[in-house]
Amino acid sequence: MGTQTGLEDLKILIVDDNAQMRTIVGTALSGAGIRQVYYAPDGKKGLEALARWVPDVVFVDFEMPHMNGLEFLRLVRSPDSKHRAVPIIMLTGHSDMPRLNMARDRGVNEFLAKPVTANAIFSRLSNVIFRPRAFVDARGYFGPDRRRKKMSPMSVPYVGPVITQTCKSSRCEPVPISGKRLSEHPSNFWLGEFYPFIGLCLKEGCFSSVLAG
């Protein structure tokens, strides 16, 4: 009997036009005992699946024909959507800030960089299930709070001595950050966070978690 992950009863929808990527993500999930995994080849089919069958989490690709991940995300988060608060993890091979900001501002929960690994899949899945961020319903935005909750008691941005940003990936070197709000550093993605920073490394499309300390 395999190790219990606490995720076995989840219902997962994978929306990706690449059959191989659907298989990779689905196989990793199935290998952890998640039995209810459904697939859609594009955003339109994904919306149809969402209407018929309510998943606990959606994995959706950024780039797809007919309807891409951004449009899928916009429609799912729209006021007339019946499932607008479903957690959405976006698969992407892109690391440029404009694309990431567009997805963030449409209410994405997490990013998962290609090529994916089983550890990365479960890291993002665990985040949305075991460490969910509260949803915000504000003018022009509906989605998870864009501020991560792991921060110091400090109530002002950190502008002190040099801090070293350390990425969990062995291929990335620590990045010194000096005298500025950490969220303004170009390699950091999540906004509104203070020391100690926990976020997402974008160096060379790494997308691993980072910690400043």
DSSP-derived 3-state class of residue 165: strand
* pLDDT value at residue 94: 74
* pLDDT value at residue 138: 87
C-alpha torsion 34→39→44→48, nearest 10: -70
Cα 125 from Cα 114, distance rounded (Å): 15
Q: Which amino acid is at 179?
A: G
What secondary structure letter does DSSP report for 183? G
* Domains of the chain by start residue, with CATH: 11-144 (3.40.50.2300), 163-212 (no CATH)
* pLDDT value at residue 98: 83
Residue 190 has phi, psi (to 5 degrees) of -70, 135
Question: Each residue of 35-79: pLDDT tens digit?
Answer: 999 999 999 999 999 999 889 999 999 999 999 999 999 999 999
Q: Which long-range contacts (CB under 8 A, 24 or more apart) does 191-194 make?
A: 191/146, 191/147, 192/146, 192/147, 193/147, 193/148, 193/151, 194/151, 194/152, 194/154, 194/156, 194/157, 194/158
In this prediction the pTM is: 0.69
Beta bridge partners of 58: 13, 88
Checking if the pLDDT of 140 tops 60, the result is yes
